Amino acid sequence: APSLTAEQINMGVDWLTKFGYLPPPDPVTGQLQTKEALTKAIKAMQKYGGLEETGVLDEKTLVLMKTPRCSLPDVAEPESHSGRRRR
Amino acid sequence: SVPSQTKWSKRHLSWRIRTFPKESHLLGRDTVRALMYYALKVWSDVSPLNFHEVAGSEADIQIDFTKADHNDGYPFDGPGGTVAHAFFPSDRFTAGDAHFDDDEAWTFRSPDAHGMDLFAVAVHEFGHAIGLAHTSAIESIMRPYYQGPVGDPLKYSLPYEDKVRVWQLYGVRDSVSHTERPDTSRSADPPVLLDLPENRSTVPPARDAPDRCSTHFDAVAQIRGEAFFFKGKYFWRLTREKHLVSLRPAQIHRFWRGLPANLDSVDAVYERPGDHKIVFFKGLKYWVFKDNNVEEGYPRPIGDFGLPLEGVDGAFVWLHNEKTYFFKGSQYWRYDDHLRRMDLGYPKDSMLWKGVPPQLDDAMRWSDGASYFFKGKEYWRVVGSDMEVESGYPRPISKDWLLCADMQSDSPALEANGTETRSHGQRHASHAENNYEVCSCTS
């Protein structure tokens, strides 16, 4: 599959964050997402959307991300993130 | 799916459309209201929840059509992308509110490819408004992605997956709600009844259809703000703007569902104040309709109202006191539909309604605040709280209400080749052939 453009990756990360699959970037450190966190988030979104869980932003995944939808997130805040905050 | 986001503690929820789509040439306001009404009804049909429309700003569920960033943390993004959202019952200031992106082309009964089906999206958003979160279940209306139109709002059935989740939240709806009746005195009229007939062009008008320009009527009623003229097995319908919906009458049985098949006419019809249900009278029986479906347990005897066992000529609710007036022969009765009790001191002589003839065909109130009395081919108008007919009446029903020119009668008897014949046998081309067609726009 053709490699993704930086713009597509950014769109993907924004989308995953917007709908609750990725925690928002840390406002203080601006820490970027780790690769495994991104892969895990993509798989969760693919599973939710009934797609094959490839873990990468393939064609079908990008198409689904462009499908009209409800603004509300699909996932409540990721457990790990809220867990960390609680600690 | 994520756990549900709490739920409403009360069972009666009010709603109101605060802002309508700007591009309302696609969908009229009445249609938007009706679609919201039926999208909420999807959830109230399967749960103990009840929704009623109000006019004021205190509604539990405020509905807005807005665009771009509207300061609620969920900015819209132009056509496509995010199309709507709603707030869970747990949201402190916006619980239940629903926002629809005004940059979308909202449609109703349009082919899949064009625009966004408003009814389908509204059902989803009101699922959030009562506490359901997104789910990945393929069948569910609560999937986050737009799946296209879901068909006829009057026939839509919620997927079982969603019924189970709402039952888990609120329990099932039993036939009688145990909570007290909501105070709907402030409520605005509920929306018009959606008339979603099968394609009319495939249903040729029956030969015995009456001619609206040369007949008197069995019953006349204002229902959800629209006027209905009943004759035999047929009725004509006028929008709130008094526009005749169609020159051809519709068949009562095809729209008002649950009346006996052998019913050949009705005596009187009115919309009950309070719950806006619609009451049909025929002989010594009456039926109560919720929207256009008869409720269980009907027909019942008119003795329930304390009326004499002679039947009813006419019935209407006087705007002035919200009392229901029944007419029979030269007498009338006054009934309190809120207390479900006949007022004392009745019947009285209908002469007290100065200028109104006895033996009425029916009566109705209209959106101008006046009361109208119908008999034969004429009608009388009584203004506000008067009990005397306004000067200049009677006037012809056909001309003022049913788009008939003077002395015109376009008999509906259709010859095999589709042309219409006048009542005195003269053959004339159907309107469409000489480029003359009477059209009326409905919501």
Tell me the mean pLDDT in the region A68-80: 76
**Cα-based angle B124, B89, B275 (whole degrees, multiple of 5):** 75
CA distances from A32 to A14, A27, A86, B190, B443 (A): 12, 10, 21, 52, 52
Mean pLDDT estimate for chain B:
83
Q: How confident is the model at residue B224 (pLDDT cuts 50, 70, 90)?
A: confident
CB B352 within 8 A of CB B387: yes
What lies within 8 Å, CB to CB, of B177 at 6+ separation is: B11, B48, B50
Active site residues of B: 125
Residue B146 contacts A, CB cutoff 8 Å: yes
Name residues 302-361 of chain B within 8 A of A (Cβ): none
- Which residues of chain B make contact with A74, given a CB cutoff of 8 A? 2, 134, 136, 144
Confidence at B397, pLDDT banded by 50, 70, 90: very high
* A70-79 average pLDDT score: 76
Instruction: Say if B73 is an interface residue toward chain A (CB within 8 Å).
Output: no
* Entry field: residues in chain A: 87
| Confidence grade of residue B406 (pLDDT, cut at 50, 70, 90) | low
Q: Do B76 and A67 touch (CB under 8 A)?
A: no
Q: Tell me, what's the pLDDT at B430?
A: 36
* CA B205/CA B122 separation, integer angstroms: 35
At CA B247, angle to CA B243 and CA B253, rounded to 5? 100
pLDDT at B432: 33
Tell me, what's the pLDDT at A30? 64
Residue with tokens 């995944």: A61
Q: Which residue has the higher pLDDT, B27 or B219?
A: B219
Binary contact (A72, B74; C-beta < 8 A): yes
The residue of chain B with its CA nearest to that of A15 is: B81
Nearest to B312 by CA among B106, B304, B141, B30: B304
Cβ distance B366 to B384 under 8 Å?
no
In the numeric block, which tokens belong to residue B296? Answer: 């269980």
Picking from A70, A75, A79, A82 by the largest number of B CB atoms within 10 A of its own CB, the best residue to mutate is: A70
Sequential DSSP letters for B241-305: T--BS-SSPEEHHHHSBTS-TT----SEEEEPTTT--EEEEETTEEEEEETTEEPTT--EEGGGG
Under an 8 Å CB criterion, which residues of A touch B? 19, 47-50, 64, 66-76
- One DSSP character per residue, B367-411 reads TTS-EEEEETTEEEEE-TT--BPPTT--EEHHHHHS---TT----
Share of chain B above pLDDT 70, in %: 81
Helix A35-48 / helix A59-66 crossing angle, nearest 10 deg: 70
Q: Which long-range contacts (CB under 8 A, 24 or more apart) does A78-83 make?
A: A78/A20, A78/A21, A78/A22, A78/A23, A80/A23, A81/A23
CA distance B147 to chain A (A): 9
Residue B28 pLDDT level (bands cut at 50, 70, 90): confident
Q: Tell me how far apart the alpha carbons of residues B198 and B34 are, in angstroms, rounded to a whole number.
A: 18
pLDDT tens readout for residues A15-58: 999 999 998 877 776 666 788 888 999 999 999 999 999 999 99
**What does the pLDDT average to over B99-128?**
89
Strands (E) located in B46-118: 50-53, 61-66, 82-86, 98-101, 106-107, 116-117
B247 versus B414: which is more confidently predicted? B247
Reported as a pLDDT band with limits 50, 70 and 90, residue B30 is confident
Taking the C-alpha atoms of residue B267 and residue B281, their distance in angstroms, rounded to an integer, is: 5
The answer to whether B138 faces chain A, any CB pair under 8 Å, is yes
The label of the residue with tokens 């029903």 reads B397
Question: What torsion, rounded to 10 degrees, do the Cα atoms B355, B358, B362, B365 define?
Answer: 30
Torsion angles phi and psi, residue B286, rounded to 5:
-145, 155
Which helix (DSSP H) or strand (DSSP E) does residue A8 occupy? helix A6-18
The model's confidence at residue B199, banded by pLDDT at 50, 70 and 90, is very low
* pLDDT (0 to 100) of residue B243: 80
Q: From chain B, pick out residues whose CB is under 8 angstroms from the CB of A71.
A: 74, 76, 82-85
Assigned token pair, B408: 């015109």
Contact B103, B76 (CB under 8 A): yes
C-alpha closest to that of B371 among B332, B315, B328: B315
> How close does chain A come to B197, measured CA to CA in Å?
30
Say yes or no: ipTM exceeds 0.90: no
pLDDT at A29: 66
Helix H or strand E segment including B39 = helix B29-44
- Whole-number Å distance between alpha carbons of B342 and B272: 14
Instruction: Tell me the chain B residues in contact with residue A50 when contact means C-beta distances shorter than 8 Å.
Output: 136, 138
pLDDT band at B336 (very low <50, low <70, confident <90, very high): very high
Q: For residue B315, what are its two tokens?
A: 């019935």
Residue B438 has pLDDT above 90, yes or no: no
Phi then psi for residue A26, to 5 deg, are -60, 120
The answer, yes or no, to whether residue B327 has pLDDT greater than 90, is yes
In chain A, what residues touch B85 (CB-CB under 8 Å)?
70-72
Q: What's the gap between Cα A22 and its chain centre?
A: 5
The torsion angle over the Cα atoms of residues A56, A49, B100 and B33, rounded to 10 degrees, is 170
Instruction: Using alpha carbons, list the distances in angstroms from residue B413 to B420, B430, B439.
Output: 6, 11, 20
Cβ-based burial of B315 (10 A; exposed 0-12, middle 13-18, buried ≥19)? buried
Q: B43: number of CA atoms within 13 Å, CB side?
A: 30
- Which of B55-69, B85-99, B161-175, B227-241 is predicted least confidently? B161-175
Mutation choice for A interface testing from B134, B135, B140, B161 by most A CBs within 10 A = B134
pLDDT per position as a tens digit, B231-249 = 999 999 988 778 888 888 9
B94 close contact with A: CB closer than 8 A: no
pLDDT of B421 strictly over 80: no
CB contact under 8 A, B82 and A66: no
According to DSSP, the residues that pair with B324 across neighbouring strands are B317, B335
Beta-bridge mates of residue B229? B220, B236
Handedness of CA B78, B81, B83, B87 (dihedral sign): negative
Q: Please tell me the predicted confidence (pLDDT) of residue B204.
A: 53
pLDDT tens for each residue of B290-321: 888 899 899 999 999 999 888 999 999 998 89
* Cβ atoms B411, B211 nearer than 8 A: yes
Six-digit token string for B42: 């999807």
